[in-house]
């Protein structure tokens, strides 16, 4: 089975999938390019981290005692690993992160949103609607990878692929483009996805089934995958 997520996270997922009894094949569909991020001047109530990909830039630019609100427990663990000491975690999706942040007690309080170059605008708008003054900074760039890995291509050619894991809509869209030649083989495969939002990146007619994790998080995703 094929795992499409990039690092960080890919190696951990490959190991856990192998523990379940599958033969995992890495074919990351996004290239992450980390950016240097200068700290904006002024005081911030907190730093809202929607992806672990933003943490290298944050660790280089921000004090270790900066209050971090992380989208989920895995991102929170990574924040602690890079040195942040005040970290709180939401339940793994945008809605729970908004709930954790809440409304600005004094309308216009500043929060910092380090994000990717082509993501984050909609989430920033939702936080602004809750009264926050959002300062968005680019912490990384995302570029789709336009070809499958050699091992993934060979497995699809041999009709040896039974499932493909998707952690984001961006990886799903990139896989759609890269795997067009293998659409007949994919119709015998399961697509196992992290959320309904991720499922929107796939064409249902291309798959045997599209199966959605009960809650956003790797453990729930692997529960849906199950054992071979």
For residue 83, what is the domain's CATH number? 3.40.50.10090
Total structural domains in the chain?
2
Instruction: List CB contacts of 222: < 8 A, sequence separation 6 or more.
Output: 16, 17, 20
Position 40 scores a pLDDT of 85
Query: How do 110-116 and 190-193 pair as beta strands?
Result: unpaired
Are 68 and 151 contained in the same domain?
Answer: no
- Per the structure, the complete domain to which residue 92 belongs is given by 32-143
pLDDT in tens, 30-88: 999 999 998 888 899 999 999 999 999 999 999 999 999 999 998 999 999 999 999 99
- Looking at 143, 174, 199, which one is the last position of a domain? 143
pLDDT in tens, 209-223: 999 999 888 999 999
Position 81 scores a pLDDT of 96
- Looking at 112, 127, 143, which one is the last position of a domain? 143
Are 32 and 9 within 8 A, CB to CB?
Answer: no
Q: Scan for tokens 């339940």, then name that residue.
A: 91
- Looking at 96, 116, 143, which one is the last position of a domain? 143
Position 207 scores a pLDDT of 98
The DSSP code for 116 is E
């Amino acid at each position: 089975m094929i795992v499409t997520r990039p690092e960080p996270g890919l190696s951990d997922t490959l190991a856990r999938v192998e523990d379940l009894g599958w033969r995992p094949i890495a074919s990351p569909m996004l290239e992450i390019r980390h950016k240097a991020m200068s700290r904006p001047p002024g005081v911030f109530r907190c730093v809202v981290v929607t992806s672990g990909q933003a943490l290298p830039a944050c660790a280089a630019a921000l004090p270790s005692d900066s209050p971090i609100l992380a989208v989920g427990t895995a991102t929170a663990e990574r924040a602690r690993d890079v040195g942040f000491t005040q970290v709180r975690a939401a339940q793994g999706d945008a809605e729970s992160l908004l709930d954790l942040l809440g409304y600005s007690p004094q309308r216009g309080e500043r929060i910092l949103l380090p994000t990717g170059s082509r993501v984050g605008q909609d989430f920033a708008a939702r936080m602004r609607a809750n009264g926050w003054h959002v300062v968005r900074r680019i912490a990384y760039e995302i570029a789709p990878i336009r070809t499958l890995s050699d091992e993934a291509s060979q497995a699809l050619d041999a009709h040896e692929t039974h499932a493909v894991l998707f952690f984001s809509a961006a990886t799903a869209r990139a896989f759609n483009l890269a795997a067009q030649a293998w659409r007949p083989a994919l119709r015998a495969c399961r697509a196992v996805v992290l959320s309904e939002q991720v499922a929107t990146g796939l064409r249902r007619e291309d798959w045997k089934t599209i199966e959605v994790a009960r809650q956003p998080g790797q453990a729930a995703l692997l529960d849906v995958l199950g054992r071979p």
